A = this chain, B = another copy of it.
Amino acid sequence: MNGVNAKDVAKLAGVSQSTVSRVFFGGVSVSEKTRKKVLAAAEELGYSPNEFARSLITNKTKIIGLVMKGVNNPFYPQVLKEFTTHFKRLGYSIIFVHTNNDEIQKEDIEMLLNYNVAGVIITDALLSLKVSEDFKKNKIPLVLFNRKAKEQDFFSVGTNNLEASRQIADYLIKKGCSDMVYISGERNTSTSIEREKGFSEVLKKHQLTYKRFESDYSYEGGYQTAKEIIQKGDISSAFFVANDIMALGVLDALRERSIEVPLRTKVVGFDNIDMAGWPNYNLTTWEQPITKLVEETVKYVISEIKEYTGMTGNIEVQGRLIERKTT
């Protein structure tokens, strides 16, 4: 596709054009000597008839697998967009895998292995240790994005959730809040656990308690959870909600019952999705620096593609509090 064609390769290799075709696409057999000549010429000219043939020569593809669950949360389409843009600049394409389940399905893993992807990024889905072994065996770098695993066998990139939630707790205490609510996403997600941990640490230090409600990182979940809390008639002075899309549901539930924000109660979210800044919500939140998170992930993947080390570990990017009108 770069202007070089089989004819040019044939000329340089001193063979016929049909020989070039046979080397790349099979057909009548070609001697090993001829094959090597053709491949050398093709490499010199930068000829690659298509990515599949190329991958047979180099044993590498230019495809990154991106696994995502929560496309209804605007945070993730934004993440998808950033990954696509960053990888495109480096000549890589994205195979998009959507999973309805919390855990990635076996068939998705097999598909990614079948395509011999150069790397895999997993956002809001779970991956068993056993499955990750398949990627390791094939020296395919893998990153957990915005998630951490309990095991130390992964590389993950995320926001410093502990630090963020400590600062949110400090901020709310300074605002005079003493009885608070924490609304988590799914209990088994590292983000929900860490965000609660930092929050509770600081509250404990100030000898404050809080109530904990489990929800599911969706608008509907936040809305329903807040409705139940309101029905009990026991409105705390602040809600720390583990992501923005749930926080918007909380705000709508409070508005429905004319509970004034920030006068009667305050609400803080997490992510800083576009909608948090809409005048109708004006949500105070913790900004996850998506571009920086994506850059760190891409840097790791590319470096592991160049030379696979199987390095595990954890990169944590600092975010910042965005103060708006709900506090």
Contacts and interface: CB of A to CB of B under 8 A. Distances in A.
Contacts of A71: 77-78, 80-81
A100 interface: yes
A300 interface: no
Contact of A256 (B26, B223, B279): B279
Contact of A252 (B80, B110, B111, B279): B279
Interface string A62-93: 01001000011010111011001100100001
A295 B150 CA distance: 40
Given A71-B80, A96-B96, A98-B85, A61 B56 contact: no
A53 interface: yes
A177 to B, nearest CB: 24
B30 A29 contact: yes
Copies in the complex: 2
A71 B98 CA distance: 15
A116 B255 CA distance: 52
Contacts of A76: 77
B28 A32 contact: yes
Interface stretch (A44-52, A118-126, A181-189, A311-319): A44-52
Contacts of A258: none
Interface of A: 1, 25-32, 35, 48, 50-53, 55-57, 61, 63, 66, 71-72, 74, 76-78, 80-81, 84-85, 88, 93-98, 100, 107-108, 110-111, 113-116, 219, 223, 248, 251-252, 255-256, 274-275, 278-280
A267 to B, nearest CB: 14
Contact of A115 (B26, B52, B74, B80): B52
B80 A96 contact: yes
A25 to B, nearest CB: 6
Contacts of A63: 95, 115
Contacts of A93: 95, 97, 111, 115
Contacts of A55: 52
